[in-house]
Amino acid sequence: MWKWVRKKYLLPVFLFLLAALLAGQWNNFQKVSSLDPATDTSLLLMASSEPITPIPTQIPLNLDKVALGKKLFHDPQLSKDNSTSCATCHSLTKGATDRKVKSVGVGGKLGEVNSPSIFNSGLQYKQFWDGRAETLEEQIEGPIHNDIEMASSWPQVIGKLKQSSEYTERFEALYPDGMTSDAIKDAIATFEQSLYTPNSRFDQFLRGNETALSTQEQAGYQRFKDMGCVSCHQGVLLGGNMFQKFGVFGDYFQDRGNPTKADFGRFNVTGKEEDRYAFKVPSLRNITLTPPYFHDGSAATLDKAVEIMIKYQLGREADSKDTDLILQFLNTLQGDIEGVS
Tens digits of pLDDT across the chain (341 residues): 434 433 443 444 343 344 334 333 333 333 333 333 333 434 444 444 789 999 999 999 999 999 999 999 999 999 999 999 999 999 999 999 999 999 999 999 999 999 999 999 999 999 999 999 999 999 999 999 999 999 999 999 999 999 999 999 999 999 999 999 999 999 999 999 999 999 999 999 999 999 999 999 999 999 999 999 999 999 999 999 999 999 999 999 999 999 999 999 999 999 999 999 999 999 999 999 999 999 999 999 999 999 999 999 999 988 999 999 999 999 999 999 974 43
Q: What's the rounded Cα separation, in Å, for the pair 329 and 327? A: 5
Q: Hey, where are the domains in the chain?
A: 35-56+198-242+281-330, 63-193
Is 149 labeled as catalytic in the residue annotation? yes
Q: Which of 149, 192, 217, 307 is catalytic?
A: 149
Given this model, what pLDDT does residue 338 score? 72
Question: What was the pLDDT predicted at 335?
Answer: 97
Tally: H helices and E strands in the chain: 13, 2
Q: Residue 49: its pLDDT value, please? A: 74
CB 127 within 8 A of CB 133: yes
CB of 295 within 8 A of CB of 113? Answer: yes
Apex 53 CA angle, 47 and 57, nearest 5: 115
- Cis (ω within 30 of 0) for the bond into 176? no
How many other C-beta atoms can be found within 10 angstroms of the C-beta atom of residue 303?
A: 16
The answer to whether 35-56+198-242+281-330 and 63-193 have equal CATH topology is yes
Rounded distance between C-alpha atoms, residue 67 and residue 335, angstroms: 21
Residue 323: the pLDDT is 96
Class of domain 35-56+198-242+281-330 (CATH, top level): mainly alpha
Q: Which CATH superfamily is domain 63-193 in?
A: Cytochrome c-like domain (1.10.760.10)
Residue 231 pLDDT? 96
The H-assigned helical ranges of the chain are 2-34, 63-73, 86-89, 136-145, 154-161, 165-174, 181-193, 201-206, 215-226, 252-256, 267-270, 302-312, 320-330
At residue 318, the pLDDT reads: 84
